[in-house]
Amino acid sequence: MSALQRLTSPIFAPDEQITSGTPRAAWVLNILTVLAVVGFAVGLYMGLVYAGMDTLQGNVQRIFYFHVATFSGGFIAFGTAVVGGILYLVTRNPRWDRLSLSGIEVGFFLSLITLVTGMVWARPIWNTWWTWDPRLTLMMIMMLTYAAYFMLRSAFENGDKKRRMASVYAILAFITVIMTLVIIRVRPDTIHPAVIGSSPVNAEGGFSMTDTMTTALGINSFIFSCLITPALIWWRIRLERLHEQANHLRAQL
């Protein structure tokens, strides 16, 4: 099958392909899942043991390795949703809508970890769980925007219209991710530190990274972006294929 044919192939392949994919794909997914689980354990070790302790903030600074890594994973997941949305609009192949939906669901949960771990870090460092800082506010807007995506999907019956609307929304919603990412560079009044590169003038809680800290951050970001996020998205796609197969069978009855 050529790349173009694969891109535009219909939603329902033979039943065994809908439920479990090809044996090779299943094998790759199992390997990826094992790597993701092992990677998660390695990431915990890197963040909790390998990286040195920050002398000013104490051990709470170690949250940073998961806070940033989950945002990296979320960024990849939301970016995947954009790719899926664009490809759906171009090809009208539902497989790309499945990719988009899966990317957003996984990205949403990873962003939830980013948001809550940030609050936990802020309590001892900023002496508050929450403040309406530009970065934090935008992060909240981003989460609410993606929460609305699920409401949008549930408002339509299955079909092309639902998928088109969801694809357009997935593409536009990514603006909030970009804004959340760059706000600390363009707004000097934020108190959120930019650990990599120069920090805003009012940043509070920043620290200089040592070599072990840089390594732990890099490895955790890699694990969340390249192992955990793709594995979760792939499993979520499988689930969606099963839902579609069930709907297909239900329609036949």
Partner 1 sequence: MVNTDSYLLLGLVVVLGVMLVYAGSLILRIRQAHKMIDTLETLQEQ
Contacts with partner 1, residue ranges (CB under 8 A): 19, 40, 48, 55-63, 66-67, 70, 106, 109, 112-113, 116-117, 120-121, 123-124, 232, 235-236, 238-239, 242-243, 245-246, 249-250, 252-253
Q: In what helix (H) or strand (E) does residue 100 lie, and over which residues does it extend?
A: helix 94-126
Written as six digits, the tokens of 12 are: 């329902």
DSSP classification of residue 159 = S
Q: Is 127 helix (H, G, I), strand (E, B) or coil?
A: coil
Min dist. Cβ of residue 252 to partner 1 (A) = 7
3-state helix, strand, coil in the chain (%, to 5): 75, 0, 20
Residue placing its CB nearer to partner 1 in the complex, 43 or 171: 43
Min dist. Cβ of residue 155 to partner 1 (A) = 21
Min dist. Cβ of residue 231 to partner 1 (A) = 9
Q: How far apart are CA 34 and CA 36, in angstroms?
A: 5
Residue placing its CB nearer to partner 1 in the complex, 171 or 223: 223
Burial class (CB in 10 A: 0-12, 13-18, 19+), 249: exposed
Min dist. Cβ of residue 70 to partner 1 (A) = 7
Closest by alpha carbon to 244, among 13, 8, 3, 7? 13
Residue placing its CB nearer to partner 1 in the complex, 87 or 98: 98
Residue placing its CB nearer to partner 1 in the complex, 155 or 253: 253
Burial class (CB in 10 A: 0-12, 13-18, 19+), 69: buried
Min dist. Cβ of residue 7 to partner 1 (A) = 26
Min dist. Cβ of residue 125 to partner 1 (A) = 8
- Using an 8 Å Cβ cutoff, are 193 and 206 in contact? yes
Written as six digits, the tokens of 43 are: 């990431």
Residue placing its CB nearer to partner 1 in the complex, 170 or 233: 233
Q: How far apart are CA 19 and CA 27, in angstroms?
A: 14
Residue placing its CB nearer to partner 1 in the complex, 110 or 177: 110
